[in-house]
């Protein structure tokens, strides 16, 4: 770049950043009123969950934070590392048990679930359902059997053509219509199902990308060793394909967490939904900027934590890493 142009750009950017920083500081000192955030922290965390039972979702979230901390900062080897995958898998059922109740805990209806707890549960639940479904769809799309290939392709392409909000809206409306009369499932479960059906189509394409990256020699080698087609898929092809697809699967997971905010439009009080009802409270009228900045910080931290965890997993799974 031309030297004078370079200096001019630097000067201009400095001026803009300085002006921006000045307005932010001015707003923070003079206009901002953080009561809408500070006095409602429990609501952001757990929504309208019964007050005497709040320790349950809070305990789950604290356990999750500790687990993230141990995973990212803990010792690189030792017994703890061996138990980590198991602990991670246990987080979803334990969370569901803690939040929903039953088995010695007082049951809490899904109507009372809310806040960041609900955001996390929606993400976890639909992610866990969508991953196996997505893998099946990806395998189906690459199958030699035309019936399987065509039906998988049709599902993936149709789902990817429709906007998520429409899938969620019609999930709420239509899922009951497709079920036998008398069988009713609640709003949260309907949302999880709709999210999972939607995300599976995108996950399928990422997994398919991973499958395509596996050279055919791998399958041939597995066949020569006498592995059956199923064994070769399970032991040779899928582990490598999923590892290759991990970065794009992470993007899907981050997208899933961000997209749970769409349920606010459809009336669930997850993190964004509870904020909308707080902003409707006359006491906090007009405090949009404080709330949105706070939410942006929470979402940003959660998404960044997910990206870091996935990076960590990628390194752990890297076959070329030396310190194993």
> What does the binding site for another protein look like in residue numbers (CB under 8 A)?
1, 6, 9-10, 13-14, 17, 144-148, 151, 158, 161-166, 169-170, 173-174, 176-181, 254, 258-259, 261-262, 264-265, 272, 288-289, 292, 295-296, 299-300, 303-304, 307
**43 vs 295, beta carbon nearer another protein:** 295
Rounded to the nearest angstrom, the gap between the alpha carbon of residue 196 and the centroid of all alpha carbons in its chain is: 11
Q: Closest distance between another protein and the C-beta of residue 181, in Å?
A: 6
**13 vs 185, beta carbon nearer another protein:** 13
**Rama region for 183: left / alpha / beta (φ>0; ψ in -120 to 50; rest):** beta
Q: Closest distance between another protein and the C-beta of residue 67, in Å?
A: 21
Say which residues have a Cβ less than 8 Å from residue 28's Cβ, sequence separation at least 6: none
Q: Closest distance between another protein and the C-beta of residue 139, in Å?
A: 12
**227 vs 303, beta carbon nearer another protein:** 303
**130 vs 270, beta carbon nearer another protein:** 270
**70 vs 307, beta carbon nearer another protein:** 307
**104 vs 145, beta carbon nearer another protein:** 145
Residues in the chain: 324
Q: Closest distance between another protein and the C-beta of residue 16, in Å?
A: 9
Q: Tokens 């039972």 — which residue?
A: 53
291: helix, strand or coil: helix
Q: Tokens 């219509």 — which residue?
A: 177
Cα 121 from Cα 112, distance rounded (Å): 13
Cα 119 from Cα 257, distance rounded (Å): 7
Report CA-CA distances (Å) from 130 to 123, 238, 272, 323: 10, 16, 23, 33
Q: Closest distance between another protein and the C-beta of residue 37, in Å?
A: 15
C-alpha atoms less than 13 angstroms from C-alpha of 90 in its C-beta half-sphere: 8
Q: What is the DSSP letter of 48?
A: T
Bridge partners (DSSP) of residue 54 are none
105: helix, strand or coil: strand
**221 vs 289, beta carbon nearer another protein:** 289
Bridge partners (DSSP) of residue 102 are 105
Q: Closest distance between another protein and the C-beta of residue 109, in Å?
A: 25
**31 vs 73, beta carbon nearer another protein:** 31
Cα 312 from Cα 324, distance rounded (Å): 14
Q: Closest distance between another protein and the C-beta of residue 137, in Å?
A: 13
Q: Closest distance between another protein and the C-beta of residue 1, in Å?
A: 5
Cα 74 from Cα 205, distance rounded (Å): 34
Q: Closest distance between another protein and the C-beta of residue 95, in Å?
A: 21
102: helix, strand or coil: strand
Nearest to 176 by CA among 195, 191, 158: 191
**80 vs 179, beta carbon nearer another protein:** 179
């Amino acid at each position: 770049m031309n030297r004078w142009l370079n200096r001019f750009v630097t000067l201009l950017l400095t001026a803009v950043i300085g002006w921006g920083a000045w307005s932010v500081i001015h707003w923070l000192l003079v206009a901002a009123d953080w009561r809408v955030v500070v006095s409602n922290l429990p609501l952001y965390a757990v929504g309208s969950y019964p007050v005497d039972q709040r320790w349950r979702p809070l305990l789950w979230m604290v356990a999750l934070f500790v687990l993230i901390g141990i995973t990212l900062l803990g010792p690189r080897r030792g017994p703890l590392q061996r138990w980590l995958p198991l602990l991670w898998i246990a987080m979803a059922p334990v969370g569901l048990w803690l939040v929903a109740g039953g088995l010695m805990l007082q049951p809490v209806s899904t109507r009372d679930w809310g806040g960041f707890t609900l955001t996390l549960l929606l993400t976890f639940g639909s992610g866990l359902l969508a991953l196996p479904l997505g893998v099946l769809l990806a395998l189906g799309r690459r199958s030699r059997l035309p019936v399987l290939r065509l039906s998988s392709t049709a599902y993936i392409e149709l789902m990817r053509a429709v906007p998520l909000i429409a899938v969620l809206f019609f999930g709420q409306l239509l899922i009951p219509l497709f079920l036998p009369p008398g069988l009713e499932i609640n709003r949260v479960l309907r949302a999880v199902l709709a999210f999972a059906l939607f995300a599976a189509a995108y996950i399928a394409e990422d997994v398919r990308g991973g499958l395509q990256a596996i050279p055919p020699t791998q399958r041939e080698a597995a066949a020569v060793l006498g592995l059956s087609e199923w064994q070769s898929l399970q032991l040779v092809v899928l582990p490598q394909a999923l590892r290759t697809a991990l970065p794009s699967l992470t993007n899907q997971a981050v997208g899933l967490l961000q997209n749970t905010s769409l349920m606010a439009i459809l009336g669930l009080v997850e993190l964004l939904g509870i904020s909308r009802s707080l902003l409707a409270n006359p006491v906090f009228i007009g405090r949009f900027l404080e709330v949105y900045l706070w939410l942006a910080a929470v979402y940003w931290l959660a998404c960044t934590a997910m990206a870091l965890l996935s990076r960590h997993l990628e390194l752990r799974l890297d076959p070329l890493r030396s310190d194993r």
